[in-house]
Amino acid sequence: MIRSTRILFALSVLALALCFKPAHAQFGDAGEILRSGVNDAELLLGEYMRPAAEGFSTGLNTGWFTTAGTHSLLGFSLTFRANVSAMPSNLKTFQFADLALENTRPVDGSTSASTIIGPKNGTTMGIFGTNPITNAEQELARFDIPEGINFSYIPTAMAQLNVGIIKNTDISFRYMPPVSYSQIGLEAGMYGVGFKHDIKQWIPVIKYVPIDVSLAAGFTSFTATSEANVQPGSGAINTYPQNHWDDQEISLNATGTNVNLLVGKSIPLVSAYVGVGYETSSTTLKAEGNYPVEGINAMGMREIESFTDPINLSFDGSNSVRGLAGVRLKFFLLTVSADVVVADVTVGSLGLGISFR
């Protein structure tokens, strides 16, 4: 049993790393967008990262249960889950015309750019300013909006422990201590808590009907931090020491909360359930540290300015009311499960675990 627990925990750590490795270059390189200044950077970075922000937060609301029933007193289950959020195709790109950009525009005349899940086509942007001496516009610097990963599915993964307590109630825990993936410059962690309660026992009309009816809820928080390395461009006046640009990072914190009504049936080897629920999710995206931005000084010369902690964006998930369905197969202590959440963003989930009582 202890060995199985260790294996499931190791799987969750590995999966969390694999979830981020394909997108890590884009996640960190997105710091280049900060060269455009606070206003334009918020607009561009917000659009580029929006699918990842929404995908992670909706994924956190999935996989809380494998049946509508609850454990016996001190019964338990430990499950490793891998979730995939299917992002709408309209989130693969964004249009520059929809953004009130002040100093930035594509140098090749492009009208759109890829988001993090979009095509593998980067976009080169120019930063422009007005020379106070000549009163003419001039290009100050260029940066690249990173290409997308060309993959419309945002994965999440976690290990979850469920324990049966009194009155046909389960309490659930999700936890992943902050793990540093030094090879890709990433640190990520997760925690969550939830419950499932058999409400059939309190309803006389259905108390003895051979089905399971339960109320379940859960909350999960996920945090990821990636190193950034945005350095001043050459050819501009720079009065800052080199170490002024150290300790740059981009952080993402996603949370998800859900409440669900479940109805299910268990027979030997197989359990199935359907349900309806309501969920909310949100994500914050921050850029912390000092970042260089090129401007024009009063003498008409290019000069580096420093902006500290320039970005603090918030995203709300689009999912609210949702439908749920799932099935679980049990072979002695081993369980294999599959679930789906149907809403604006559909999420599929597969689980492998152990269950006792």
Q: What pLDDT, in 10s, does the model give residues 57-106?
A: 899 999 999 999 999 999 999 999 999 999 999 999 999 999 999 999 99
Residue 175 to residues 195, 223, 339, Cα–Cα distance (Å): 15, 12, 21
Q: What pLDDT, in 10s, does the model give residues 7-60?
A: 433 444 444 444 455 555 555 566 778 888 889 999 998 999 888 888 888 999
CB 59 within 8 A of CB 83: yes
**Would the pLDDT of 2 be above 90?**
no
Dihedral (CA of 94, 96, 100, 101) sign: positive
How high is the pLDDT of residue 324? 96
> 90, 56, 8: which is closest to 256 by C-alpha?
56
What is the percent of the chain with per-residue pLDDT over 90, rounded to a whole number?
56
How high is the pLDDT of residue 27? 57
Rounded (5°) CA angle 178-246-124: 95
**Would the pLDDT of 121 be above 60?**
yes
Q: What pLDDT, in 10s, does the model give residues 172-229?
A: 999 887 777 665 567 888 899 999 999 999 999 998 999 999 999 999 998 888 888 8
CB 38 within 8 A of CB 307: yes
How high is the pLDDT of residue 17? 46
How high is the pLDDT of residue 331? 92
How high is the pLDDT of residue 126? 93
User: How many CA atoms are closer than 13 Å to the CA of 315, on its beta-carbon side?
Assistant: 29
The alpha-carbon radius of gyration of the chain (Å, integer) is 24
How far is it, in rounded angstroms, from Cα 118 to Cα 128?
26
Q: What pLDDT, in 10s, does the model give residues 245-283?
A: 999 988 889 999 999 999 999 998 999 999 999 999 999
How high is the pLDDT of residue 56? 83
- Over residues 343-354, the mean pLDDT reads 94
How high is the pLDDT of residue 25? 52
How high is the pLDDT of residue 35? 83
Query: Which alpha helices (H) appear in 169-303, and where do they start and end?
Result: none
pTM: 0.85
CA 149, distance to chain mean position in Å, is 15
How high is the pLDDT of residue 188? 82
3-state helix, strand, coil in the chain (%, to 5): 20, 50, 30
> 338, 339, 331: which is closest to 355 by C-alpha?
331
Is the model more confident about 182 or about 156? 156
Is the model more confident about 177 or about 143? 143
